[in-house]
Copies of this chain bind each other. A is one copy, B any other.
Amino acid sequence: MTAAQQGRTGVAVIGLGGAVATTAVAGVEQMRLGSSTTAGLPFAHREDLVPYEALVFGGWDLDADDLAKAAHVHRVLEPAQIEAVAEQMERIRPWPAVADPAWCRNATGTNVVGIGPLRERVAHVRADLRRFRESEGLDRVVVVNLASTEAWPDLTSAVLADLDTFEKGLDADESVITPGMIYCYAAITEGCPYVNFTPSFTDVPALLELADREGVPVAGKDGKTGQTFIKTVLAPAFRSRALQVEGWYSTNILGNRDGMILDDPSSLASKLDTKGSVLDSILGYDVEDHIVRIDYYRPRGDAKEAWDNIDLVGFLGQRMQLKVDFLCRDSILAAPLVLELVRLIAEAHRRGEGGPQEQLGFFFKAPVTQVGKSPEHALHVQERILLDWLDRR
């Protein structure tokens, strides 16, 4: 039996009311109504994967608004596009979220579970997942993290270093354990594949160990949609032609909620970190003048602009410059990738492949690997690895 034949697959989204999630849900609802647009969906032709129409959405959000209302607020889609599927989207209402302002200052809301002991929070999330699976009659539930970026935890903490200390940390309510880790822990424990599309750090050794032990596939982190997508396309080409990158200046302006969250320096640090090492890894040498800026700039809303300037040195030391201006749409790029990730990690689950899914690095700025391994960043290499994996079935 192929995944495609397995019937209904649940998608439990952390941050269900956000711009990416509502866009993804609207897209699936349009497909259910017969739309066949496949732009942005690189695996649309793969009939061996779970069909988009078999995806059933649920999840958590700090805001209790139904998804139609939320989609109107985000203004990613045109009013007419939301209206066309409003009836379906109004039926979906986020469950109360496990959140903690200590980890994400600018994200606040009223649809929250009171901050109790960590073990209680885990139990709450697990109960949500079980209820979702049963009430909807789902064969499988994939958990996808699309929540606002959290501040980085102290990664040197022994609590995060292995599963044993982590579980003791849960018992002791250790403050280094973030809401994102709670969701991730609960998902794996419930046997649900887990995809982290955000820069938040949930791929700590303890949780990778748990995923390995439980045979549950996990993937992340930080969706590669805009500037870093282009960077991992251009950098391999410069290396191919031995054009030396002397400097690379990247700036991003964006005005959606994601941008507002990144206006908080502690969240920004998480984001910048996942963007940072990509370049040197591809080129094979350190680019000293690699600068990345992200600025919250409201006039654009969800329409992000990424401007890059690259200084190149060519034959006999002669200099050249290349500039790229990407007027993109954050959620429009992200939403279809989230759908593909759900389909692909469901396939990994079906194949019984647990732990970090390195073949899904194609989708991420900071691909999660087995502990100690360096990720591949060049887009075309990532694509080949993924296609080879798909064909290995």
In this assembly, does A110 line the interface, its C-beta being within 8 Å of a C-beta of chain B?
no
In this assembly, does A311 line the interface, its C-beta being within 8 Å of a C-beta of chain B?
yes
In this assembly, does A383 line the interface, its C-beta being within 8 Å of a C-beta of chain B?
yes
In this assembly, does A156 line the interface, its C-beta being within 8 Å of a C-beta of chain B?
no
In this assembly, does A329 line the interface, its C-beta being within 8 Å of a C-beta of chain B?
yes
Cα-based distance from A40 to B245 in the complex (angstroms): 11
Which residue on B lies nearest to A321, using beta carbons? B327
In this assembly, does A1 line the interface, its C-beta being within 8 Å of a C-beta of chain B?
no
Contact partners of A80 in chain B: CB under 8 A: 79
Contact partners of A332 in chain B: CB under 8 A: 314-316, 318, 320
In this assembly, does A328 line the interface, its C-beta being within 8 Å of a C-beta of chain B?
yes
Contact partners of A337 in chain B: CB under 8 A: 241
Q: Is the CB of B289 within 8 A of A298?
A: yes
Q: Is the CB of B39 within 8 A of A314?
A: yes
Which residue on B lies nearest to A226, using beta carbons? B320
Contact of A329 among B41, B247, B253, B320 (CB under 8 A): B320
With both chains docked as a complex, state the minimum distance between the C-beta of A254 and any C-beta of chain B, in angstroms. Answer: 11
Cα-based distance from A358 to B314 in the complex (angstroms): 26
Q: Is the CB of B380 within 8 A of A40?
A: no
- The oligomer's copy count stands at 4
Contact partners of A30 in chain B: CB under 8 A: 316
Q: Is the CB of A40 within 8 A of B77?
A: no
In this assembly, does A163 line the interface, its C-beta being within 8 Å of a C-beta of chain B?
no
Q: Is the CB of B316 within 8 A of A333?
A: no
Contact partners of A79 in chain B: CB under 8 A: 80
Which residue on B lies nearest to A26, using beta carbons? B316
Cα-based distance from A115 to B359 in the complex (angstroms): 62
Contact partners of A298 in chain B: CB under 8 A: 247, 288-289
List 5 tightest A-B contacts by C-beta distance, closest first.
A40-B315, A247-B299, A299-B311, A380-B380, A233-B237
9 additional A-B residue pairs with CB within 8 Å, beyond A39-B243, A240-B380, A247-B300? A27-B316, A77-B318, A230-B237, A230-B322, A237-B380, A241-B333, A253-B309, A319-B329, A322-B328
